[in-house]
Structure 1
Amino acid sequence: EDAAQQRLAEFVEDHLDDYGSERDFPALDGTSQLSPYLNVGLLSVRQCLEAISLHQGGHLPDTKTGAGSWVNELIWREFYRHVLVGFPQVSQGEPFKQRYGTLPWRNDPDEFQRWCDGRTGYPLIDAAMTQLNQTGWMHNRLRMVTAMFLCKHLLIDWRLGERYFMSRLVDGDQAANNGGWQWCASTGTDAAPYFRIFNPITQSQRFDPKGEFIRRWLPQLQALDNKQIHEPWKHAVVDYPDPIVDHKAARLRALEFYKG
Structure 2
Amino acid sequence: MFQEERLLKILEYLKQHQSMSVQEICTQFDVSRDTARRDIVRLVQEGVVIRTHGGVSLPELQKELLSYQDRLIDESESKQRIGKAAAQLIQDHETVILDVSTTVQFVAEQISAKDITVVTHSIDNVGILSQREDLQIYVLGGYLNVKNRLLYGPSIIDKLSEIRADKAFIGASAIRADGLYYPYEEDVRVKREMARRSDQVILVADHTKFIGKSFFRLDFEFVDILITDRELPSEIREILDQKNITVIECPEETEEAREQD
Structure 2 length-normalised TM: 0.33
Structure number having the greater strand percentage: 2
Structure 1 length-normalised TM: 0.33
Higher RCO by CA contacts (8 Å cutoff, separation 6 or greater): 1
Larger Rg: 2
